[in-house]
Structure 1
Amino acid sequence: MNWSILEEQMVSYRRHFHQYPEISHEEVKTREFIRRELESLGLKPFSFTGKDIVVDLQGANPGKVAAIRADMDALPVEEETGLPFASKNKGTMHACGHDGHMAILLGLIHFFKKHQHKLNGTIRFIFQHAEETVPGGANEIVANQGLAGVDGIFGYHLWQPLPLGTIGVRQGPVMAGADKFTIRIIGKGGHGSMPNETIDPTLIASLAIIQIHTIISRSLHPLAQAVVSIGELKSGTTYNVIPDSATLSGTVRQFSTEVSMQIHKRLDEILHGLSVSYSSEYELDYTYGDSAVVNDAELYSLVKEKAAKLFGKEKIVEIKPQLGSEDFSYYTNCIPGMYTFIGVGKEDTQYGHHHPKFDIDETMMVPAVQLLSEAVIEFLHKGEESCE
């Protein structure tokens, strides 16, 4: 394989995607661009949901089915990188690396198309929509039988927190589950000079925030891994009026459904106690989102072995569980899966994922193709149970 030519092609893909980002569930032009590229290779793309785009590549010899997934959606972020190929869509940016993920998957398709005559089994390439939403596009694909007959799935992320050139792997839970909650405190408004005639929802919301932040330290087992964060508080419209209500929302990150349910229960108890104490009312909307991504033991060993062979053992990083979430969990809940991190961080890298100045290092796209292609080829020679 001429890696320099493939790298040139992938850089071109990535920069096109970067210039024309589309947010979750609106990846229309992105999908059509990918469709045209696949058809130009003589492939027949299809879709499970009408929002994703998928293609199967069947090898010359019978065998198992492996899937590889890339996410397509961008974020509602105004880009500030100053790159010559910066986003042309105002208020939208590939600030997480999904542009690179799509380019890598197209690079893998080029690679396997060239070696199709040597391939055992079938590879399903999934360009998934709406990874950034809860629940994400993976849920829709699985619900529409997108994994029927698939024996194992591979995912990956160009990852700024890891040093450039390293490969991050982990067996078992690797990305956290993510829940969302919204709380409405209902009080009684009035003039700021007469607080005694009101039920102040802003005060009650403030007390709720303080108590919510004790859930992790005082309600969960000390070894349970979880985070509760309040990201939004809205109350009132002017300085001298106590409003009728206040709204706050936040996120819960965890590695088990049991912990999710425990936090949900504790939130309700805290709010109930405050409502009794202050004669207020409350509404709690708790959404159970993506579950944790759990890497299969055999696929973990396979990817780790291939990474060590390609790049050296010193480039392998056994990462800690990440409290960011990923809807790749819908796949790993059904079949064996492996989610791998491709290090793109540099010493002078200042901006992390979702930042307006975030950028990736394009030199890691070829190593990603090399690693994933080796792993998939090896996987197709081993037996796994499929999941309907």
Structure 2
Amino acid sequence: MKTNEQIQAALEARLPQMTAWRRYLHQHPEPSFHEQETARYIAEQLREMGCDIRTGVGGHGIVATIRGERPGPVIALRADIDALPIQDEKDVPYRSTVDGVMHACGHDAHTSTMLGIASYYQSVRGELQGERRLLFQPAEEICPGGAKPMIEAGVLEGVDAIYGVHLWSPLPYGAVATRPGPFMAAADEFTVTVTGQGGHGGLPHQTIDAVVAGSALVQALQSIVSRNVNPLQPAVLSVGAFHAGKSGNVIAERAVMNGTVRTFDPQTRRMIRARMEQIVAQTAELHGAKGELNYREGYPSVVNDAGEVDRFMRVAAQLPGELQVERSDMIMAAEDFAYYLQQVPGCFMFVGAGNEQTGAIYAHHHPRFDLDERAMAVAARLLIAMAEDRVGAASGTAGAG
């Protein structure tokens, strides 16, 4: 393979094209499970490169396969392609042209990074060992997600390792981070419905107030993390929405609340759900009301392979540009990359994309979210380095790329 410096130069030369791809996708976002035109655009770019592609994988997914002329491991790299139902409020030439939809999490840049990787690998096919399988995955943002359907469609068959990155605005450009073991949380959703008996606001004794019962329930649910979860196990239970009533002088008959549970430990996850079922039923009954819990399990925790994280620490430190290599804290955000890691060894990594000078300071899922587009070249370089070091390890010639 090429030297570190040659690969770096090749990717930096592709950065303008990656930027153009990213800005086109940013202007034409599509939400989860509706990425028809996004997939068509990606397939068009890959065909122009001469890639062997498979479309319609697990929905709107695409797999690009680049086979070397020499035998070796099969390495999968993954990018997500979907946008979010958020109105773009940025004042930039490439702002979303689709009302109420925007790439507010960086998936446009993930896709463009992977297209840059495809372009690079196609240019060095004769030097490759084994196979590079590039996964363009739909529907990461909404459960049940796109990873499981792609796995069911066979994208991991024969794969020896898988790597993925998330361009991460809380980290500054030039920093990269991950951690071994549990990295990102399992994320579940719940809806609680409290049904009482409505009536006149001046005659509360003739009613069963769903607001009072629901308020007590919100408070009681907080005791699960503070009093039932092992303090050494991270967990979050948040009620984010509470809807009840329409008038100030009417006792509400019904209250509905929605929230999320975030955990890392499977046993803690099961315990929280069981305690919620008990508390919802018993607290509502205490107030004469009826409580119903609808609990929906989401993505499992992202659990990185310890050996692959060791590879990251070593490989990232060797890359040109003197990257700031960090061991990340656990992150309570979720990712369906977790499903891939349940099947094969791999590593999910953060690449810093924040930049105060360019206005890339807003959180993911914010209407003014943006990122430092130079981070795409860093992400591409890191993914290639991880893949080639894994191939080198299999052949006894491990190096940074």
| TM-score interval, smaller chain | over 0.9
Specify the SS of the correspondent of 2:30.
coil
| One-letter amino acid of the structure 2 residue matched with residue 368 of structure 1 | A
1:12 to 17, 20, 32: 20
Shift of 1:221: 0.7
Contact kept in structure 1, 2:11 and 2:120, CA below 8 Å? no
Identity of paired residues, percent?
Answer: 38
Partner of 1:118: 127
Partner of 1:43: 51
Question: Is 1:23 matched up with 2:53?
Answer: no
Partner of 1:353: 364
Shift of 1:163: 1.8
Question: Is 1:74 matched up with 2:86?
Answer: no
Question: Is 1:259 matched up with 2:268?
Answer: yes
Spell out the pairing of 1:172-187 with structure 2 (5 A cutoff): 172-187=181-196
1:364 to 352, 361, 375: 375
Shift of 1:313: 6.8
Specify the SS of the correspondent of 1:207.
helix
Residues 241-260 of structure 1: CA distance to partner in whole angstroms, max 9, x if unpaired? 12221110100010022111
1:218 to 210, 220, 227: 227
Residues 113-169 of structure 1: CA distance to partner in whole angstroms, max 9, x if unpaired? 111110000011000000001221111112222211111110101111112201112
Task: Quickly say closer, same or farther: Cα 1:138–1:62, change in 2 above 3 A.
Answer: same
TM-score by length of 2: 0.93
Spell out the pairing of 1:234-249 with structure 2 (5 A cutoff): 234-249=243-258
Shift of 1:192: 0.9
Partner of 1:33: 41
Contact kept in structure 2, 1:171 and 1:297, CA below 8 Å? yes
Contact kept in structure 1, 2:74 and 2:158, CA below 8 Å? yes
Q: Which runs of 5+ in 2 are unaligned?
A: 1-8, 396-401
| One-letter amino acid of the structure 1 residue matched with residue 281 of structure 2 | H
- Between the aligned partners of 1:302 and 1:173, the Cα distance in structure 2 is 17
1:277 to 286, 297, 307: 286
Specify the SS of the correspondent of 1:362.
coil
| One-letter amino acid of the structure 2 residue matched with residue 367 of structure 1 | V
Question: Is 1:138 matched up with 2:138?
Answer: no
Shift of 1:359: 0.3
- Between the aligned partners of 2:285 and 2:12, the Cα distance in structure 1 is 68
- Between the aligned partners of 1:312 and 1:262, the Cα distance in structure 2 is 46
Question: Is 1:331 matched up with 2:346?
Answer: no
1:197 to 206, 213, 218: 206
2:104 to 90, 95, 110: 95
CA RMSD for the aligned pairs?
1.5
Task: Quickly say closer, same or farther: Cα 1:87–1:271, change in 2 above 3 A.
Answer: same
Specify the SS of the correspondent of 1:21.
coil
Partner of 1:375: 386
| One-letter amino acid of the structure 2 residue matched with residue 37 of structure 1 | Q
Shift of 1:14: 0.5
Higher deviation after alignment, 11-20 or 256-265: 256-265
Task: Quickly say closer, same or farther: Cα 1:83–1:173, change in 2 above 3 A.
Answer: same
- Between the aligned partners of 2:261 and 2:320, the Cα distance in structure 1 is 36
Contact kept in structure 2, 1:180 and 1:288, CA below 8 Å? yes
Q: Which runs of 5+ in 1 are unaligned?
A: none
- Between the aligned partners of 1:229 and 1:275, the Cα distance in structure 2 is 18
Partner of 1:307: 316
- Between the aligned partners of 2:65 and 2:108, the Cα distance in structure 1 is 21
- Between the aligned partners of 1:137 and 1:332, the Cα distance in structure 2 is 14
| One-letter amino acid of the structure 2 residue matched with residue 211 of structure 1 | A
Shift of 1:347: 4.1
Contact kept in structure 2, 1:185 and 1:282, CA below 8 Å? yes
Specify the SS of the correspondent of 2:143.
coil
Contact kept in structure 2, 1:225 and 1:254, CA below 8 Å? yes
Specify the SS of the correspondent of 1:325.
coil
| One-letter amino acid of the structure 2 residue matched with residue 168 of structure 1 | A
Shift of 1:312: 6.7
Question: Is 1:322 matched up with 2:331?
Answer: yes
Contact kept in structure 1, 2:11 and 2:116, CA below 8 Å? no
Higher deviation after alignment, 254-263 or 375-384: 375-384
Number of residues of Structure 1 aligned to a counterpart in Structure 2: 384
Shift of 1:219: 1.0
Contact kept in structure 1, 2:179 and 2:309, CA below 8 Å? yes
Contact kept in structure 2, 1:189 and 1:242, CA below 8 Å? yes
TM-score by length of 1: 0.96
Shift of 1:240: 1.6
- Between the aligned partners of 1:250 and 1:334, the Cα distance in structure 2 is 29
- Between the aligned partners of 1:149 and 1:266, the Cα distance in structure 2 is 41
| One-letter amino acid of the structure 1 residue matched with residue 324 of structure 2 | K
Specify the SS of the correspondent of 2:332.
strand
Contact kept in structure 2, 1:256 and 1:291, CA below 8 Å? no
Specify the SS of the correspondent of 2:295.
strand
- Between the aligned partners of 2:305 and 2:369, the Cα distance in structure 1 is 30
Higher deviation after alignment, 85-94 or 294-303: 294-303
| One-letter amino acid of the structure 2 residue matched with residue 107 of structure 1 | G
